[in-house]
Chain A
C-alpha cells in the first residue's frame, strides 16, 4: 500500500480526534481548569512554605509557580493520556473501535495514529495553559516554547501509550476511577512535578527512589529542561525507552491473535 494511503488514514484519524475535541469543549475546559487551579491556588499557598534553591536548568532563584509549571504541563498530558485510554475503552464498547480496526492498514499503525492524534490535541491544551501562565508572569525564554514542542510530544505519546496499554487490560469502563486512584495520582505525586527530587530525598529516601524511577518524573524533567533550552539526556532516554516498551505491549494487547479482543469476545468489552 502506498505512503499516500497511510497519510490519508492518519489525517482521517487526526481530523476525527480534532472534531471530537471541538464537540467536547467542556472536557477541554475541565482539562484546563485543573492545572490552573493548581497554579493559582495551590502554588500561591505553597510559595511561602517551599523555597526552591537554584537547581538546573534554572539560573536564578525561582518562584514556586515557576517550578511547578512543567509539572502541570505534565499533568495535562497525563490526564489526557489516561482519558484517551478511557475513550479507547468507551470506543471499544460503542463499536467505533471496530470501525477503526477493520481498516486495511496494519493495526500498529492505526493505534499509533490514534495516539499521535490524541497527543496533538493535548499539545493544544498545553499551549493554552502556557499562554494563561504567561499572564501570571511565568515567562520561560521565548525560544523555550518552541524547544518544548518535541519534549511535550514525546512525553504525550509515552503517557498515551501507557493509557493505551491500560485500556487493553482494563475490563470495564467503571474501572477508570481505579486508574485515577492507582495510576494518575501516584504517578503525579511521586514525581518531581510538585517538589524537586532532592527535597523528597530529605524526607524519605524510599520515596526519592520511587520518584526517580517514575517515568512521569522524567517526562516532567524533559519538558522542564527543554522549556529552558537544555536537554536532559537521562530523561530523554527514559521517556523514549518507556514509550517503546508501553507501545510494544499495547500493540500486543490489541493483537488479534492473543490480545484483549480475542480473550473477551465480540459483545463484551
Chain B
C-alpha cells in the first residue's frame, strides 16, 4: 500500500502510459507506447479498427497486465496498486455491457455495489446522473426497452457513479445514428468541462476530432502522433484532420 496522499496533486497525470508493449504470441498489438493525459482534459485517441486501441484500454483497465512498461492512474500503478488506480477510473467498453433483463436502477445499483457505495449514495447519484442525461423517468424501465443512444448514455452515467477522475470510452459511438453520436460526444465534452473529469475518447471517426483537442494517433500498435489536432494538420501541411491522418498513416479513414 502506498503512503502517498489520497488526493492527486496538480502535477500528477490523470493517466500516464510509459513504454508499454503487449503481444499476443507473435502479433504485437501495442508497441512501446507512452503518453500522458493531464487531469480534466478531453483527449481523443484516433485509430483504425485493429490499431491497438482496445488492447491498450484493456491494459489500462487491468483486464490484463503488460509484461513491459507501466500504466499509472493519478500516480497509482495499475498492476501494483490496482485498487487505488481502479477506484479512480470509469470505463465505457466498446461492447455494450448492460444486462438487458435488468432495469436501469438495478444496473446502476449493481455497479455502485461493485464499487462499495452505500445504498443511499447509489440512489442519490443514480437519480442525479439520470436527470443530467434526461432519462430520470426511465429508472425503472428495463434496459431492453431503451434505444442504443440511451443505453450508451446510461453506461456513461453508470461509469460516473463512483466519481472517477478519469474516464475511458472505447468507441462509444459505434452503432449509433448521426444525431445520437453528436449528442453523446457533446455530453462527454460537457462532463469534462463541468466536472473536470479527464476523458480519453477512442474512435476511428475523424469527424469527432476538434482542432484543439489533444490527439493521440494510434496506428498498427504504434503511437504515431501526440499533440493537438491542429498541429498534426500543420505538420502534414493540410487543412483537415482527415487529410493529415491519411498522410501520416498512409491509409484513408472514415
A residues contacting B by CB (< 8 A) are: 1-2, 4-6, 8-9, 11-13, 15-16, 19-20, 23, 94-96, 98-106, 110, 256-257, 259, 261-267
B116 close to A8 (CB less than 8 A): yes
Q: A15-B110, A23-B101, A266-B57 are in contact. Are A4 and B64 (CB under 8 A)?
A: no
A104 close to B95 (CB less than 8 A): no
15 contacts between A and B (CB under 8 A): A4-B116, A12-B112, A20-B99, A23-B101, A94-B95, A96-B98, A99-B111, A99-B114, A100-B114, A104-B115, A256-B62, A256-B64, A259-B64, A261-B63, A262-B65
A105 close to B83 (CB less than 8 A): yes
Q: A96-B97, A98-B97 are in contact. Are A265 and B89 (CB under 8 A)?
A: no
A101 close to B63 (CB less than 8 A): yes
Q: A15-B113, A104-B86 are in contact. Are A98 and B24 (CB under 8 A)?
A: no
In the complex, what residues of B have CB within 8 A of residue A99's CB? 93, 97, 111, 114
Contact for A265 among B24, B95, B98, B113, CB less than 8 A:
B24
Q: Tell me if B165 counts as interface (CB < 8 A to partner A).
A: no
Residue of B nearest to A100 (CB): B114
Contact for B116 among A1, A94, A266, CB less than 8 A:
A1
Residue of B nearest to A11 (CB): B113
A256 to B60, CA, bound (A): 11
CB distance from B145 to the nearest CB of A (A): 14
In the complex, what residues of B have CB within 8 A of residue A15's CB? 109-110, 113
Interface residues of B in 105-139 (CB under 8 A from A): 106, 109-118
Q: A12-B110, A15-B113 are in contact. Are A257 and B87 (CB under 8 A)?
A: no
Interface size for B (C-beta < 8 A) is 40
Q: Tell me if B233 counts as interface (CB < 8 A to partner A).
A: no
In the complex, what residues of A have CB within 8 A of residue B116's CB? 1-2, 4-6, 8-9, 104-105
B57-96 vs A, Cβ < 8 Å mask (1 yes, 0 no):
1100111110100000000000100111111010101011
In the complex, what residues of A have CB within 8 A of residue B12's CB? none
In the complex, what residues of A have CB within 8 A of residue B95's CB? 94-95
In the complex, what residues of A have CB within 8 A of residue B191's CB? none
Interface of A is mostly: helix
B102 close to A19 (CB less than 8 A): yes
A16 close to B86 (CB less than 8 A): no
Q: Which 6 A-B pairs have the closest CB atoms?
A: A12-B113, A5-B116, A262-B64, A95-B97, A95-B95, A104-B87
CB distance from A171 to the nearest CB of B (A): 14
CB distance from B142 to the nearest CB of A (A): 10
A110 to B64, CA, bound (A): 15
A98 close to B93 (CB less than 8 A): yes
B58 close to A9 (CB less than 8 A): no
Q: Tell me if B17 counts as interface (CB < 8 A to partner A).
A: no
Q: Which of A98, A104, A266 has the most CB of B within 10 A?
A: A266
In the complex, what residues of B have CB within 8 A of residue A98's CB? 61, 63, 91, 93, 97
In the complex, what residues of A have CB within 8 A of residue B41's CB? none
In the complex, what residues of A have CB within 8 A of residue B115's CB? 9, 103-104
**Given A13-B113, A94-B95, A95-B95, list of 19 further CB < 8 A pairs?**
A1-B83, A4-B116, A6-B116, A8-B113, A9-B113, A15-B110, A16-B102, A16-B110, A19-B106, A98-B93, A99-B114, A101-B61, A102-B63, A103-B86, A104-B83, A104-B84, A106-B83, A265-B24, A266-B54
In the complex, what residues of A have CB within 8 A of residue B83's CB? 1, 104-106
A266 close to B55 (CB less than 8 A): yes
In the complex, what residues of A have CB within 8 A of residue B89's CB? 102
Q: Which of B24, B64, B83 has the most CB of A within 10 A?
A: B64
A102 close to B86 (CB less than 8 A): yes
Residue of B nearest to A113 (CB): B114
